[in-house]
């Protein structure tokens, strides 16, 4: 009996960390990589809120090492100097104001928490908030941390450690980054203090960077000491933060993602890898008929899903041929499939353009980040890609919101690369990745009427700027997707933005 109660309690706690606590009717988050807090607040009010986005993962908000010797790369933000909220994205007031303004617009904020380590050793030791460090002494006065707060004996993770040796993966340094000992009571207090400070400011949860490199037992203690979400920001009382742990597990390593699913959600890296392969023709779309755990993916409730992230879009972290904004046609299709399919908790990537994989965000000569500009057609300039503002992508966020909690039904395929399916009686999508046209009468599960395809265009008054689809009394419609078209999918749904 006691054991059953303990088990149920443990299960309840784990589920508690797997709810993103989006505002009603919202389903999707976007990573606004390297954006400034003031720009994010404006984006919540002018675009993300009105367009139905659920949340934003922001870049690490705590003070990091300034690395001019590598021309201020994006990865300097993964080298903490303290837990003060001051970075190139903004200071504490700006962070707090962003969280308040985004929550007011119905958009939640998730913090990228770097709690495995501090910085590496460099010849410059200035933090973005003015803190210094004595690397040789493992001394970070901005926290403060000293020698006793790190793992000993000193060691650095080697490639083959991942195959054999969990203790080394967790207690040695990840590429020279000084490895904190989360088993220490003092270290836990510093980490929990930082996380609770931003929870109290109104954030809804965390990405746990490098979770594979920390002991699950230590993480459990840290998570269980976190405050409930702040009800003054619209969260229900007793709500636990949403936590998704970065564990790259493509198989074959000593540490598995399954060691972390009892704690909270986990990033599912196989998801983007498999969809990238399929939409580039390396696997037939027909096989997606049983997409989800049968493909070796995590259970639905455990999975934070995405096509690309800030690492693998530039060849850091997990390997594989990942689709990005640079390969737009299959990328948009893979994103559309992710957002149309009920499996997983989806996250979009919003990038700055790059050729050099180390390069930081658009910046001026002093290293200040340059804000994105917004063009008259709604796209971004000044070096920002803003995938979340691409019509084919933000329209699918709306599609997912409309589909809600419905399941998948009326799957159709042609045995190769043409597929279609419904989400309850709410929404319909078709894909054509064959090199011949799709021209077929298909069941859409929608009420009779005329609908605008939200991929090739949008609704404008009483007409469509792109294709229109006529659904008959039997729910069927003729679906046409030619190979020469800009996009390989067509999507229609109930609700104002598609139905004429």
Q: What residues line the site for ligand QV4 (CB under 6 A)? A: 75-76, 78-79, 114, 120-121, 156, 174-177, 209-210, 212, 246, 248, 311, 316-317
* Token pair of 121 as six digits: 């050793």
SS3 state of residue 55: strand
Query: Residue 210 touches which of Ca ion, ligand QV4, none (CB < 5 to 8 A by kind)?
Result: ligand QV4
Site string for Ca ion, 197-216 (x = CB under 5 A): ----------------x---
Residue with smaller CB distance to ligand QV4, 249 or 487: 249
Query: What is the b/e burial string over 457-472, where b = at least 16 CB atoms within 10 angstroms of the residue's CB?
Result: bebeeeebebbbbebe
Please report how close the Cβ of residue 106 comes to ligand QV4 at its closest, in angstroms: 28
Q: Looking at residues 128 to 187 of the shown chain, list those that interact with Ca ion (rule: CB under 5 A).
A: 170, 179
Residue with smaller CB distance to ligand QV4, 100 or 168: 168
What is the DSSP code (8-state) at residue 111? E
| 76 belongs to the binding site for Ca ion (CB under 5 A) | no
Residue with smaller CB distance to ligand QV4, 222 or 464: 222
Residue with smaller CB distance to ligand QV4, 46 or 154: 154
CA dist 270 → 214, 221, 290, 330, 406 (Å): 21, 28, 15, 17, 24
Q: Strand 380-381 to strand 373-374: parallel, antiparallel, or no bridges (unpaired)?
A: antiparallel
Query: Residue 179 touches which of Ca ion, ligand QV4, none (CB < 5 to 8 A by kind)?
Result: Ca ion
Query: Residue 456 touches which of Ca ion, ligand QV4, none (CB < 5 to 8 A by kind)?
Result: none
- The answer to whether 76 and 98 are in contact (CB under 8 A) is no
Query: Does the active-site annotation cover 224?
Result: no
Residue with smaller CB distance to ligand QV4, 39 or 249: 249
Query: Does the active-site annotation cover 209?
Result: yes
Query: Residue 220 touches which of Ca ion, ligand QV4, none (CB < 5 to 8 A by kind)?
Result: none
Minimal CB distance residue for Ca ion: 213
SS3 state of residue 14: helix
Helix (H) or strand (E) holding 2: helix 2-16
* Other CB atoms within 10 A of residue 66 CB: 21
Distance, CA of 139 to chain centre:
33
Query: What is the b/e burial string over 263-297, where b = at least 16 CB atoms within 10 angstroms of the residue's CB?
Result: bbbbbbbbbbbbbbbbbbeeebbeebeebbeeeeb
Query: Residue 338 touches which of ligand QV4, Ca ion, none (CB < 5 to 8 A by kind)?
Result: none
> Which of 43, 112, 179, 209 is flagged as catalytic?
209
SS3 state of residue 129: coil
Query: Residue 75 touches which of Ca ion, ligand QV4, none (CB < 5 to 8 A by kind)?
Result: ligand QV4
Q: Strand 418-423 to strand 408-413: parallel, antiparallel, or no bridges (unpaired)?
A: antiparallel
| 218 belongs to the binding site for Ca ion (CB under 5 A) | no
Interface positions with Ca ion (CB under 5 A): 116, 170, 179, 213
Query: Which positions are catalytic?
Result: 209, 246
């Amino acid at each position: 009996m006691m054991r059953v109660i303990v088990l149920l309690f443990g299960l309840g706690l784990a589920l508690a960390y797997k709810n993103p606590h989006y505002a009603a009717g919202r389903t999707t988050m976007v990573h606004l990589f390297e954006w400034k807090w003031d720009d994010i607040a404006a984006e919540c009010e002018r675009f993300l809120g009105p367009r139905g986005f659920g949340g934003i993962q922001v870049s690490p908000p705590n003070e990091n090492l300034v690395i001019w010797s590598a021309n201020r790369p994006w990865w300097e933000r993964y080298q903490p100097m303290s837990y003060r909220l001051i970075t190139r994205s903004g200071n504490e007031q700006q962070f707090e104001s962003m969280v308040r303004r985004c929550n007011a617009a119905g958009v939640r904020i998730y913090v990228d928490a770097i709690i495995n380590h501090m910085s590496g050793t460099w010849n410059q030791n200035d933090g973005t908030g003015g803190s210094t460090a004595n690397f040789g002494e493992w001394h970070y006065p901005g926290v403060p941390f000293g020698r006793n707060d790190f793992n000993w004996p000193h060691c650095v993770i080697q490639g083959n450690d991942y195959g054999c040796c969990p203790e080394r993966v967790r207690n040695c340094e990840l590429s020279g980054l000084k490895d904190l000992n989360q088993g220490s009571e003092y270290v836990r207090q510093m980490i929990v203090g930082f996380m609770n400070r931003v929870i109290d400011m109104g954030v809804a949860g965390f990405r746990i960077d490098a979770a594979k490199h920390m002991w699950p037992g230590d993480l459990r203690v840290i998570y269980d000491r976190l405050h409930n979400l702040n009800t003054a920001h619209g969260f229900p009382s007793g709500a636990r933060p949403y936590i998704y742990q970065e564990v790259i597990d493509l198989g074959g390593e000593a540490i598995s993602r399954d060691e972390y699913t009892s704690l909270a959600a986990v990033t599912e890296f196989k998801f983007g890898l498999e969809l990238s392969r399929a939409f580039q023709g390396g696997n037939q779309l027909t096989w997606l008929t049983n997409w989800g755990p049968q493909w070796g993916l995590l259970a639905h409730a455990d999975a934070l899903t995405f096509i690309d992230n800030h690492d693998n879009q530039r060849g850091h972290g997990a390997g594989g041929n990942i689709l990005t904004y640079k390969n737009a046609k299959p990328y948009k299709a893979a994103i559309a499939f992710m957002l149309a399919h009920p499996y997983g908790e989806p996250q979009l990537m919003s990038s700055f353009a790059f050729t050099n994989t180390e390069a930081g965000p658009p910046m001026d000569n002093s290293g200040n980040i340059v804000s994105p500009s917004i063009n008259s057609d709604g796209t971004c300039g000044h070096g920002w890609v803003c995938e979340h503002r691409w019509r084919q992508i933000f329209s699918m966020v709306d599609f997912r919101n409309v589909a809600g909690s419905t399941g998948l039904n009326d799957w159709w395929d042609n045995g190769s690369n043409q597929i279609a399916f419904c989400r309850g009686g709410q929404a319909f999508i078709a894909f054509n990745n064959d090199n011949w046209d799709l021209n077929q009468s298909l069941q859409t599960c929608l009420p009779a009427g005329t609908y605008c395809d939200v991929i090739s265009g949008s609704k404008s008054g009483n007409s469509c700027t792109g294709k229109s689809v006529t659904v008959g009394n039997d729910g069927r419609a003729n679906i046409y997707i030619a190979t020469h078209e800009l996009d390989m999918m067509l999507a229609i749904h109930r609700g104002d933005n598609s139905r004429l």
